[in-house]
Structure 1
Amino acid sequence: MQKPSNPTSRPSPKKENFLVHLAIWHGKDIPSSFRLYKSELLPESARILGYARSKLDHDGFIGRVTEHISKEEDKKPWMGSGIESGTTKSYFYMALPPSAFFSVAKGCRQHLQPSDTESCNELLNNLKPLFSENDTYRIDHYLGKEMVKNIMPYRFSNTLFTPLWNSTHIDSVQITLKEPFGTEGRGGYFDEYGIIRDVMQNHLLQTMSLVAMERPIGRDAEAIRDEKVKVLRCVKPIKLEDTLIGQYVGNGDKPGYLDDETVPKGSLCATFAAMVLWIDNERWDGALDKAKVEVPGSLYAGVSRNETVMRIQPNEVIYTKFNNKSPGLTEHTMVTELDLTYKQRYENLQIPDAYESLILDVMRSDHSNFVRNDELDAAWRIFTPVLHQMEKDRIKPHPYKYGTRGPEKESEFVKKYGVEQLTGGYTWPKQDVDQH
């Protein structure tokens, strides 16, 4: 067992007054702020103000923000304190729909990602008179996740991968997000955006940019974000032919998407999407386009190709499948794995929540894990044409049952790019193998 470095050894914010304005998202922001406080990473003078649309008195507010705190002594810091004069910095974090964004931005300088290229440009232009790019932290919480933050060290601190990280040696990169629940009452909000805007244009694209970008000239924020923008500008706008969308229907006692009372009748909103992105640069040109082969020049027929998996959540892990001689009196090969399962490898592992990490980054004025304005524009350029086409032509999503992996047509869709979905054969010997 290896003992990980203590996260509290990171430099704390400067010793100055902080006033942090948080929308009441008690599932993420409040617990993250509390863990920073318990780790002594918040300045003693820091004060947090919470507010939301819900009408709460003082006791109701305290009950809301402390409902996940079990120890009575840990509830005392939330009981209220005055805000001293002379506060030198204020941070505003508010979770708002784009329709409410600009009016709130005028008052407290909050920013939220828009819904296509046109609205993106409008909001960016409206923000310029309000505050500078250096004062803006556009949160994509995936950039605060431990395994996403590990992509750069994995790629650029291991010289083994440097000559191999290209389309000559990598057949394809698959980034998958699966959730074990439906909209279940929040369909009214989700229906305005759909799965592509909700997670693909932001979370998954941010992950892809870190996997695909060139080596930055340094580890400072602008060097990293420069390379992310460069690779995004090399991604061709997605075509409808490279897109498959679906919408879940009822399965047993689980209702379908259209059964949600908050969803408009006959909605064509996609709750599933598979999309192929083509990167037109020297490193990745031709990936997925080349003929499939077994291991070139291999002495062993029929061996599997190598595969590296980085699971972001749950149960963080990196493992690589490789071919090995079967033990015993045989010359047959078998597939096994090089395995780094975090919980098994590191003693007393405590991985900070993504928001915990990002809130601390804001107070340290570190922009490395936040989205720059030109990066946002480059991302929407990739997705906007196909989103507009689907809405204009009213493309109907393929049905699939609640709880299944997606439409039946998915296997046929990915196969035309040379990717096969295996339902048998090798299984990684962990109970939660299907969660990555």
Structure 2
Amino acid sequence: MTESSSPFSESGKTESTLTITVVGASGDLAKKKIFPALFALYYDDFLPENFTIFGYARTKMTDEELRKMISETLTCRIDKSENCGDKMDHFLKRCFYHSGLYNSEEDFSGLDQKLQIKEGGRLSNRLFYLSIPPNIFVDVVRCASTKASSKSGWTRVIVEKPFGRDAESSRALIKCLKRYLNEDQIFRIDHYLGKELVENLSVLRFSNLVFGPLWSRDYIRNVQLIFSEDFGTEGRGGYFDNYGIIRDIMQNHLLQILALFAMETPVSLDAEDIRNEKVKVLRSMRPLQLEDVVIGQYKGHSNGGKTYPGYTDDPKVSKNSLTPTFAAAALFINNARWDGVPFLMKAGKALNARRTQIRVQFRHVPGNLYRNFGTDLDKATNELVLHVQPDEAIYLKINNKVPGLGMRLDRSDLNLLYSARYSREIPDAYERLLLDAIGGERRLFIRSDELDAAWALFTPLLKELEEEKIAPELYPYGSRGPVGAHYLAAKHNVRWGDFTED
């Protein structure tokens, strides 16, 4: 399977076609995220005139049954505009289904025949979205490559995480995929890179003079990357127990955000220039030590007459499971810009709030003139907060005088709340990433050497946790997490910033 020299962005004319095949079309991700994102792109006229969407899965289903399934998850949310119902009908008429096994070249050959009929002899560009477990990635890529790749245009494959369980399995997966695909055909998706505030991180830093000089160890005391969910595994216990919170969230989502935050100014906005700088950050990071990590697991809890189940109450999870549902870690970058600055990550399920934040705590003011006015210096530290989700916002915590005849200081926010500033609804991350894959834009997708560097950082820690059978600290469902996370932060002279907002 080879990449054609005719990218979609140059061939979006009537004589070209785009076919998007969602492999694993009957799964939750496809129903809840991928098909709605494709409809949103169609609604906003980001798909070409000649496009077709195919669902592929083992489930026996007709075209009409697929359309009915998709229609149940589509909404007219986009700007509450008119004619959404008509658009939805037109979109569904472009959706078709082909049932087949994931390892059957014959079934993919049948899919190819259907695609050719829809393409009608025009230049064909084909995008395969693998919404399937990683253990069948290679089978699908092999069959799609040999039997259903485009003969005249490009063929690209979007691969959903997880990309292996450790460095060894990740390298094996990369090697197998590259037997059938070139690196520039593989789009490894991390949907967090498509979120509006993560995209805005580079804009904030590189297009505002005020932040440039401050973005270093000279002014930044610590950086916090916080991910919390207020629910447990909820039916995903079998999958989650095989991976845990470190693999599921920290090694990919949070580490990718860290690399974007800490990278040097790229030569350009070209995808390879940006990814080169991210790889440099990952390779400069100090190997994770067990003493710089805290793990936890939520337990059952009763509150207000309602009982919340513990992690091991999930029927798909072993009663003796040591899989962490919470982890906190202190990471360090050994380069001139960030030497000595702790980057604290925290990720957990069944906590007291749902949020994803980037918090930048600046150093104390040297020789602070106002230190004798009863000010808590830790709380008075300037802090830049990027609220990734929900309620997207950027705010800067500053100190100011309370109006009046006395001298009393207050901490206030310079606040950009997206919902108040922008009337347009923020697109879902999958919309942006699908659009980029169609256009051949790789900036927000993960390169193989980037993936390898990320796994190299976490694999020794994961092996030690599992081989030593380190027991996670238990914390009640709906709490702030294990106490050990506070000791870890205190060890590096840090307070978790999200606690001031609860």
TM-score (norm 1): 0.90
Q: Distance in 2 between matches of 1:422 and 1:17?
A: 50
State the SS of the aligned residue for 1:27: helix
Residue 358 (structure 1) aligns with: 433
- Aligned residue type for 2:186: T
Residue 322 (structure 1) aligns with: 398
- Assess if the C-alpha contact under 8 Å between 2:42 and 2:91 holds in 1: no
Residue 487 (structure 2) aligns with: 412
Q: For 2:370, which of 276, 294, 300 is the aligned residue?
A: 300
- Aligned residue type for 2:475: Y
Q: Distance in 1 between matches of 2:50 and 2:274?
A: 32
Within 5 Å, which residues of 2 pair with 1:181-196?
Answer: 181-196=231-246
Q: Which structure has more strand as a fraction of its residues?
A: 2
1:337 aligns with 2:413: yes
- Aligned residue type for 1:306: N
1:84 aligns with 2:122: no
Q: For 1:162, which of 207, 212, 233 is the aligned residue?
A: 212
- Assess if the C-alpha contact under 8 Å between 1:18 and 1:45 holds in 2: yes
- Assess if the C-alpha contact under 8 Å between 1:69 and 1:75 holds in 2: no
- Assess if the C-alpha contact under 8 Å between 1:248 and 1:401 holds in 2: yes
Q: For 1:270, which of 311, 318, 324 is the aligned residue?
A: 324
Residue 106 (structure 1) aligns with: 142
In structure 1, list runs of 5 or more residues that go unmatched: 1-10, 428-432
1:36 aligns with 2:53: no
State the SS of the aligned residue for 1:191: helix
Q: Distance in 2 between matches of 1:13 and 1:398?
A: 56
- Aligned residue type for 1:84: E
Cα deviation code 1:171-199 (max 9, x no counterpart): 11000011111112210011110001011
Q: Distance in 2 between matches of 1:13 and 1:372?
A: 25
Q: Distance in 2 between matches of 1:229 and 1:286?
A: 20
- Assess if the C-alpha contact under 8 Å between 1:249 and 1:256 holds in 2: yes
Q: Distance in 2 between matches of 1:423 and 1:161?
A: 22
Cα deviation code 1:9-29 (max 9, x no counterpart): xx8973321111113211110
Q: Distance in 1 between matches of 2:449 and 2:370?
A: 48
Q: Distance in 1 between matches of 2:208 and 2:90?
A: 46
Q: Distance in 2 between matches of 1:146 and 1:172?
A: 23
Cα deviation code 1:150-171 (max 9, x no counterpart): 0001000011111111112101
- Aligned residue type for 1:250: G
Residue 338 (structure 2) aligns with: 284
Cα deviation code 1:350-387 (max 9, x no counterpart): 21111101111111111111101110001001100000
Residue 257 (structure 1) aligns with: 311
- Assess if the C-alpha contact under 8 Å between 2:299 and 2:475 holds in 1: yes
Offset of 1:47 from its aligned partner? 0.6
Offset of 1:408 from its aligned partner? 2.1
Within 5 Å, which residues of 2 pair with 1:9-20?
Answer: 14-15=12-13, 16-20=16-20
Deviates more, 1:76-85 or 1:93-102: 76-85
- Aligned residue type for 2:486: S
Offset of 1:217 from its aligned partner? 0.9
- Aligned residue type for 1:365: G
Offset of 1:333 from its aligned partner? 1.5
TM-score (norm 2): 0.79
What's the C-alpha RMSD, in Å, of the aligned pairs? 2.0
Q: Distance in 2 between matches of 1:50 and 1:170?
A: 48
> Structure 1 residues 29 and 277, CA, compared in 2 at 3 Å: closer, same or farther?
same
In structure 2, list runs of 5 or more residues that go unmatched: 1-8, 76-83, 97-116, 146-156, 344-361
Offset of 1:422 from its aligned partner? 7.0
State the SS of the aligned residue for 1:189: helix
Cα deviation code 1:217-263 (max 9, x no counterpart): 11111110000000110011211111100011111211111000011
